Chains A and B, each alone.
Chain A
Amino acid sequence: MATVIADKWLESVLRGLQQPEQILPVVSVDRSQQQQRLAITPFGLSLPHSLSNKLSGVLQGDYKPVDLLCMVAHAQAHLKHSAFFQPVGKFKHLSLALISLLEDERVERLINDDIEGIGAVFTSRMDMEQALSIGGVETQLAKMSVCLNRRHNVFEDYWCGKALDMYEQALSGGGGFAALREAGSILANDLGQMRYRFDHTKYAVWPAYRDDNSILWTDASADQKVQETVTHSRTSSPTEPDLPPKEEKLIFYYDEWNADTQNLNKAFVTVNHLGLLPVSGLQRIPLRAAHTAYLKSRRRRAMRGEFKLSVDSSEQLWLDKAIERSIDLHCQISPDENIFLQWQRQQLSAGVMVLIDASESANDRIAGSFTSILDLEKKAITHLADFFQSARIPFAVSSFHSNTKDAVSITLHKDFVSPWTDAQWRSLQGLQACYSTRLGAALRHMSTLCVNRLQQPMVLVLTDGVPSDVDCPDENYLWQDSQFVVAQLREEGVGVMCLKIGSSQAQICQKIFGSSQTVVCEAVNIELAMRSVFKKIRKSIP
């Protein structure tokens, strides 16, 4: 069964429905299994994990795309036209439900101006028979929804007629949400006097494509709920069971260049390697001045490369012989002496290591949007991955941040040999930005990961700022160290490029990487800049 990635799906649909001037909201998937409907938060949308199965069902024809479209369009209507976190005050639950119902109708009418034809689609989901079959006061609310949507009292019901009149009157007065509050509370009072019993704990908004409207209101419990949703959407997903398990942390020590004294501070910076383990080659790092790497791990044997079974010293792998040897070993019989294992390290011809600056500044949001620079960087990596795959260029993805010289954290999300899979994509989506930018140490570690692995390595740095850290009061110190490393890497045949997001302090990046190897772009143009970067890479890697 084809698998649909829920958050990617939602992002695509939103992109298709949005107006050019709109910015995509942040999208996340709630895997807590508690969320049943699409939730709207101030930061964007949060999908229930259960929706993934339904999305796959769309492709199988057993789930109607129209429900999904309505769900997304309704959410977008709220995001664009609703005022969030209105005080609950002394409103009773029925009042809140009715005011929310009126607001749902208001925003659905407004979004019809942006998404032509969506009004008819909403109407198609307002099934009259279904509305009548719900039972209790919920039936009355559902009937009102149908009548408001069709702008006609199709049930010839007194309360529906009154709701229609009050709704149109409230909107015609230009009162907006405040007028709807008044209309809703009057209607709720009327229904209450009719002894309608409303149990808010069992109430579910109808039709099912609409959200629970918790975003519209604020009280202690609502605050908590929103906070939980937001916190969850920001929590990294690597702990999820479908992601690769966390590997042991590896520790490296690197030198750092002091331009004032023209000296290398030996083994000065501590780098913690997280995420995937580098496949091979680390133990072969020579003790050189600038790239001294001391690997402290029991895993080093596991990284020595791959064993190749050879017969009679030939380079050919004989599968039958390999099986025979495995059987012999399993049965504790001495295998044929002419068959032996030969250590061999795979070396790729060329490849690109993408290094993402995940420092705190990447959390800055693009003006007037919910999108952060880190979000754009993640998207850029996705585009770049498509380019690399189409051009068959091996690539790896890593990210870094630093918290003083004693804690530079580098996470390898994808190595050169593994394919670009959903798990790695999700690992990248779980990336969080924090702390500072000790770029020099990160670049030295990139050299460690690339040099023995590739004949023609290239490092592409994605950054929105310049090197800095809290233990470096001299603002020149770290960029001069980075400049030193870049020069040294190039001497060793490692290409280094930079995509600088935002034009502020771009000249420092140009000093570090050189003007010709630095592409500067504004955040909104990152996709275009990626193409330019890719062209440069193509020129470097034939």
Chain B
Amino acid sequence: MAQQLKLPMWTVACNEDTSASDLVGRFILKGNETPWIDGPLTQAVRQGGICYLDEVIEARQEALVVLNALADHRRQLFIDKTNEVLHAPAHFMLVVSYNPGYQSVMRDLKESIKQRFVAVRFDYPAIELEQNIISSESGCTSALARALANFGASSRKMAGSGLFEGVSTRMLIHAAKLMSQQTGQQNLLEAALIDPVTDEPTIRASLLALLPLVMAAVHM
């Protein structure tokens, strides 16, 4: 998006320690002075561009509060420590991302924050599209890519009954790369597709039972 719009982008990987100061900025010690350093959000507002807060749900609640005035019609960033009010230019954009679903059972964005954004929903790709992605990213045969895409879809259907989340497209690409290098090794598939997602014996056995479908494609 930044590339297409030719805008600078500030990316913040949020975590549970991410505070408002990490976004807005803070005074630092420098020699005998305590200059103010803009945080990535402030820089984006001052200069115009895209500020992308990845996994925003992980950030502290107080960090999210600073977004309120910025993300609604006011488009203002209040910096209380410097007593400044910044008005975001027209080409300033705020983008946040997080994983809804089971992860939000424990933590979720406040409705008031969610409603300040336009939402784009990303889900797993359809089988045909995922097959193309796996095939083009890994260079594997289309039969193996298809079988892996089917395996991914099957694992996702199992999610919720002991399996937290199904196999991701990223994992399927890794598996395809491994299988392309070491054809016929089932233990590679186990290592790439099953062990990373579960160590629960019953679910593991369930996923193992589906692997022959992939192995059959390998030997085609």
Residues of A that sit less than 8 Å from B by CB? 2-5, 8-9, 11-13, 15-18, 55-56, 58-59, 65-66, 68-69, 72, 115-118, 120-121, 124, 379, 382-383, 386-387, 390-391, 527, 531, 534-535, 538
| Contact status B217-A12, CB under 8 Å | no
B residues near A66, Cβ cutoff 8 Å: 212, 215
A residues near B211, Cβ cutoff 8 Å: 65
Task: Kindly report which residue of chain B lies nearest to residue A123, judged by CB atoms.
Answer: B216
Cβ of B203 within 8 Å of any chain A Cβ, yes or no, is yes
- 28 sample A-B contacts, Cβ–Cβ < 8 Å, listed by A number: A3-B201, A5-B202, A12-B202, A13-B209, A15-B161, A18-B157, A55-B202, A56-B201, A65-B209, A65-B212, A66-B212, A66-B215, A68-B205, A69-B212, A72-B209, A116-B147, A116-B213, A117-B150, A117-B216, A117-B217, A120-B216, A121-B212, A124-B216, A383-B160, A383-B161, A386-B162, A527-B160, A531-B102
Cα separation A379 to B208 with both chains bound (whole Å):
23
Whole-angstrom distance between the Cβ of B211 and the nearest chain A Cβ: 6
- Indicate whether A4 sits within 8 Å of B154 (C-beta atoms), given known contacts A17-B210, A115-B213, A121-B213: no
| Contact status A120-B220, CB under 8 Å | yes
Mark B68-104 against chain A: 1 for CB-CB distance below 8 A, else 0.
0000000000000000000000000000000000100
| Contact status B162-A117, CB under 8 Å | no
| Contact status A13-B106, CB under 8 Å | no
| Contact status B206-A9, CB under 8 Å | yes
Cβ of B105 within 8 Å of any chain A Cβ, yes or no, is yes
Known pairs A8-B162, A16-B155, A16-B207. 16 more at Cβ < 8 A? A3-B201, A9-B209, A12-B163, A12-B203, A13-B209, A18-B157, A65-B212, A68-B205, A68-B209, A69-B210, A116-B213, A117-B214, A383-B161, A391-B106, A531-B102, A535-B105
| Contact status A13-B206, CB under 8 Å | yes
Chain B residues 173-220 with CB under 8 Å of chain A are 201-217, 220
A residues near B204, Cβ cutoff 8 Å: 59
For the complex of A and B, 6 pairs with smallest distance between CB atoms: A12-B206, A16-B154, A2-B201, A66-B212, A120-B216, A65-B208
| Contact status A58-B161, CB under 8 Å | no
Cβ of B64 within 8 Å of any chain A Cβ, yes or no, is no
Whole-angstrom distance between the Cβ of B187 and the nearest chain A Cβ: 9
CB < 8 Å: which of A4, A116, A379 contacts B202?
Answer: A4
Chain B residues 20-53 with CB under 8 Å of chain A are none
| Contact status A17-B217, CB under 8 Å | no
Cβ of B165 within 8 Å of any chain A Cβ, yes or no, is no
| Contact status B162-A12, CB under 8 Å | yes
Name, among B147, B209, B213, the residue most crowded by chain A CB atoms within 10 Å (CB to CB).
B209
- Indicate whether A69 sits within 8 Å of B147 (C-beta atoms), given known contacts A379-B161, A527-B160: no
B residues near A18, Cβ cutoff 8 Å: 157
Whole-angstrom distance between the Cβ of B135 and the nearest chain A Cβ: 15
| Contact status A4-B161, CB under 8 Å | no
- Indicate whether A13 sits within 8 Å of B210 (C-beta atoms), given known contacts A116-B147, A116-B150, A527-B160: yes
Cβ of B158 within 8 Å of any chain A Cβ, yes or no, is yes
Cα separation A117 to B154 with both chains bound (whole Å):
13
Cα separation A387 to B102 with both chains bound (whole Å):
9
Q: Is the interface of A mostly helix, strand, loop or mixed?
A: helix
Cβ of B58 within 8 Å of any chain A Cβ, yes or no, is no
| Contact status A16-B216, CB under 8 Å | no
Cα separation A65 to B108 with both chains bound (whole Å):
39
Cα separation A15 to B69 with both chains bound (whole Å):
46
Task: Kindly report which residue of chain B lies nearest to residue A379, judged by CB atoms.
Answer: B161
Task: Kindly report which residue of chain A lies nearest to residue B101, judged by CB atoms.
Answer: A531
B residues near A72, Cβ cutoff 8 Å: 209
B residues near A115, Cβ cutoff 8 Å: 213
Cα separation A95 to B74 with both chains bound (whole Å):
82
| Contact status A16-B147, CB under 8 Å | no
| Contact status A12-B161, CB under 8 Å | yes
Cα separation A350 to B214 with both chains bound (whole Å):
47
Cα separation A66 to B213 with both chains bound (whole Å):
8
B residues near A382, Cβ cutoff 8 Å: 161-162
Task: Kindly report which residue of chain A lies nearest to residue B154, judged by CB atoms.
Answer: A16
A residues near B216, Cβ cutoff 8 Å: 117, 120-121, 124
A residues near B163, Cβ cutoff 8 Å: 12
Whole-angstrom distance between the Cβ of B192 and the nearest chain A Cβ: 16
Whole-angstrom distance between the Cβ of A390 and the nearest chain B Cβ: 7
Cα separation A534 to B103 with both chains bound (whole Å):
13
| Contact status B208-A16, CB under 8 Å | no
| Contact status A11-B161, CB under 8 Å | yes
Cα separation A391 to B106 with both chains bound (whole Å):
8
| Contact status A12-B208, CB under 8 Å | no
Whole-angstrom distance between the Cβ of B97 and the nearest chain A Cβ: 20
Name, among B105, B163, B217, the residue most crowded by chain A CB atoms within 10 Å (CB to CB).
B105
B residues near A124, Cβ cutoff 8 Å: 212, 216
| Contact status A16-B206, CB under 8 Å | yes
Task: Kindly report which residue of chain B lies nearest to residue A527, judged by CB atoms.
Answer: B160
Whole-angstrom distance between the Cβ of B107 and the nearest chain A Cβ: 10
Cα separation A390 to B208 with both chains bound (whole Å):
25
Task: Kindly report which residue of chain A lies nearest to residue B102, judged by CB atoms.
Answer: A531
CB < 8 Å: which of B105, B154, B207, B209 contacts A387?
Answer: B105
Name, among B162, B203, B206, the residue most crowded by chain A CB atoms within 10 Å (CB to CB).
B206
Name, among B202, B207, B211, B217, the residue most crowded by chain A CB atoms within 10 Å (CB to CB).
B202
B residues near A121, Cβ cutoff 8 Å: 212-213, 216
- Indicate whether A535 sits within 8 Å of B108 (C-beta atoms), given known contacts A4-B201, A383-B160: yes
Cα separation A15 to B156 with both chains bound (whole Å):
9
| Contact status A58-B147, CB under 8 Å | no
| Contact status A69-B209, CB under 8 Å | yes
Whole-angstrom distance between the Cβ of A427 and the nearest chain B Cβ: 18
Cα separation A66 to B210 with both chains bound (whole Å):
8
